[in-house]
Homo-oligomer: A and B are copies of this chain.
Amino acid sequence: MSKLLIVGTVAFDAIETPFGKTDKILGGAGTYIGLSASNFGVKSGIVSVVGGDFPQEYLDMLNDRNIDTSGIEIVKDGKTFFWSGKYHNDMNSRDTLVTELNVLENFQPVVPEEFKDSKIVMLGNLHPAIQMSVIKQMTKKPALIVLDTMDFWMNIALDDLKAVMKEIDVITINDEEARQLSGEYSLVKAAEVIHEMGPKFVVIKKGEHGALLFSEGHMFYAPALPLASVFDPTGAGDTFAGGFTGYLAKTENLSFDNMKNAVIYGSNLASFCVERFGTERMIDLTQQEIKDRLELFKSLTQFDVDLD
């Protein structure tokens, strides 16, 4: 069992989908990653920042799940990062209605002493300079650093992103972003180009079409579970990242074969996340449900054909 350090936003979201809308609810990449990883019983810590308006009960809820929140700075006279978005009918595209950075604007991450020797580091989607600052604070070289990013940082901080990409082992990125970053349309070629930029493992997330794992000529495909209804896609990618790193932290096996399992667990947990608004589904999720869904993933993809 390895310690897992998570860096990412802890935030308020207001979400509108064809199924309804929410007031300000708990959100943020760090939150989703932490909740997802907590299903593997690992010791994890979140580095983030919130304002004085952030309810103690949310922190208590994270602590109850063995997630250390001492790295979440509380800026008493500041306001928590707020994002609001509206999903279109196809659930694959959304409009951002409001982005209030608030305390995130001057965020300087501080890794707690206890987590400076974490074997696995999950860098949630943030400015690449912040992601780099976390890596620099580690006193022991982590066994695995995973980075999530998005097109926004490619557009405004590409040099910083390229610099941090040289320091990491795994990048998770969606298909359109992989194409943008690499200049290649084929995801096979895109993964090769991105691999040359630093990370040994490239995970390309394709939303409802699943995720691809590439490493040095090896390729693995994890489907997304086809669902009768997607209620709210918010946090699915972060939940995937939490399942991926949580499983690796639990099993301490960084082979390509075990990475396959990690991708499957990422998809497994993400398939729950979208069933309800925000973090709702992640909060009441049981081990039995995760096991049952793993069986579903097996039956969805496993086949036994002879070669003659």
A249-308 CB contacts (< 8 Å) to partner B: 257, 260-261, 264-265, 291, 294, 299-305, 307
What is the minimal beta-carbon distance from A62 to any residue of chain B, in angstroms? 25
Known: A212-B226, A226-B212. A294 touches B305 (CB 8 A): yes
Q: Is the CB of A303 within 8 A of B220?
A: yes
Oligomer: number of copies: 2
Is residue A188 within 8 Å, beta carbon to beta carbon, of the partner chain?
yes
What is the minimal beta-carbon distance from A68 to any residue of chain B, in angstroms? 25
What is the minimal beta-carbon distance from A206 to any residue of chain B, in angstroms? 7
What is the minimal beta-carbon distance from A18 to any residue of chain B, in angstroms? 9
Q: Is the CB of A90 within 8 A of B305?
A: no
Contact of A307 among B89, B294, B305 (CB under 8 A): B294
Known: A219-B226, A221-B223, A300-B220. A305 touches B186 (CB 8 A): no
Sample of 25 A–B contacts (CB below 8 Å): A91-B185, A186-B226, A186-B227, A186-B228, A186-B229, A189-B228, A206-B209, A209-B210, A212-B226, A219-B226, A220-B301, A221-B300, A221-B301, A223-B223, A260-B303, A260-B305, A261-B303, A261-B304, A261-B305, A264-B305, A265-B305, A294-B305, A301-B302, A301-B303, A302-B302
Known: A209-B209, A221-B301, A265-B305. 7 other contacts (CB 8 A): A188-B227, A219-B226, A220-B299, A222-B303, A257-B303, A264-B303, A291-B307
Q: Which residues of A contact B (CB under 8 A)?
A: 89-91, 185-189, 206, 209-210, 212, 218-223, 226-230, 257, 260-261, 264-265, 291, 294, 299-305, 307
